[in-house]
Structure 1
Amino acid sequence: ALPLYHIFSLTANCLTFMSLGGHNLLITNPRDMKGFVKELGKYRFTAMTGVNTLFNGLLNTPGFESLDFSRLKLTLGGGMAVQKAVAERWHKVTGKPLLEAYGLTETSPAVCINPLNLERYNGTVGLPVPSTEVKFIDDTGRELALGEVGELCVRGPQVMKGYWQRPEETAKVLDGDGWLRTGDMAMMDEKGFVRLVDRKKDMILVSGFNVYPNEIEDVLAMHPGVLEVAAIGVPDENSGEVVKVFIVRKDPNLTEEDIMRYSRENLTGYKRPKHIEFRDELPKSNVGKILRKELRKEELAKRS
């Protein structure tokens, strides 16, 4: 259900699955969830790749829970953070874990992947793939210790040589020792598993405190009345920025007060949304990734 020109689908489905002799089923219009589920009903599929919004959409489409999952061996999420609420429900419905991996076009694309025999979602993107080094740095370039959050840097044979005919852009992300700055904030635990925090450019600065949209979204997605959610920072005279969330309702009766109450129960004060906007849908890329940058553009346009 991902276009084959996307690096995730190109590598996982088109190359890896084909090399293993797999029969690839391409869903040309995954936004037609009813048609998607109908098509899945014709096959006893063994593996599926996608993004969080795709899995969430399937779980909320009538008939999906009645499909035959008896041969499903692998569900792999990438492209955006897999939310705990989605992963847990996926496991409950299919009986199989939703595993996460991580990579970029600039790394061809693999950086990390979870062990395929993992029994449950663990909130990490897994272990670095063979021959791959990772480190985490602060804004000064200082390497951080285990458990500290910093920008994830990658070095290995899969890292690009540079952007085609764009030496200045290449120099911004690739140093002389072959380390690629990914722009993703992350940390490594004591077992070597990498946990993504968020995109560095998406970080919200509230009164000097770092707030990561993924954390806000992960918490609010656990509310039973929420279908989809996106969080961004918007300007504020007192604290510099505050959190604003955009929500697509699952429950049509969901109110701002419901979200505020849930936030008070589950989020620290400075992480709680100060603005809530309900929408029928959220802007997404061609692979289904929610586009926070489009929401930020809209907010800036309102204030200009």
Structure 2
Amino acid sequence: MQPDFWNDKRAPGVPNDIDLSSYKSVIEVFERSCKRFADRPAFSNLGVTLSYAELDRLSAAFAAYLQKQTDLKPGDRIAVQMPNVLQYPVAVFGAMRAGLIVVNTNPLYTAREMRHQFKDAGVRALVYLNMFGKLVQEVLPDTEIEYLIEAKMGDLLPAAKGWLVNTVVDKLKKMVPAYHLPQATALKQVLREGRSLAHKPVPLALDDIAVLQYTGGTTGLAKGAMLT
């Protein structure tokens, strides 16, 4: 594909080139966007919209919890196993703001695939939706994971709607197989505690690893690609 292929296909006002020297890291891009577009919608799901300001506040609380309530250090790996829900960007940007490397875990993974990825990436923490709890319980003894943060579908919804969604998912649709992970900390508790803590900005550069993105594994074991 020729370099100028997209020149006449971009929306008006979108530049042809990006000055990478304008930003020190992907987190600086994120934080500047949160300030510049504070009142604008960032993500919507299940009838609820998070503004950039709300995403900034929630991800900072998540980052502060990781920094102050765990011994995770910049460069450690944290896996995030969720579908497209509002909790995902909160966890991902929060983890990055704490200097951690995000390992995206496919919600459709089998126990074998989860076990391989967690061990291969050296994952120390896992954020997961409770409907994957049974699989997490199965693979946990074979990994080095020390911290579990458990989310539910309704966590970031208004209280009544969140309760209703969680009840439907668990009791009516039977999408949450029985499991036992008493060591897991609820995402709502993480955010509640994190709000009272100060997030300490972590110096990051453009060549720091942001994400270990695993391949589909169609030609063998999935491999982690380092994305800066």
Flag whether TM exceeds 0.5 (same fold).
Answer: no
Q: Which has the higher contact order (CA 8 A, sep 6+)?
A: 2
What TM-score, normalized by structure 1, do the two folds share?
Answer: 0.27
Greater fraction helix? 2
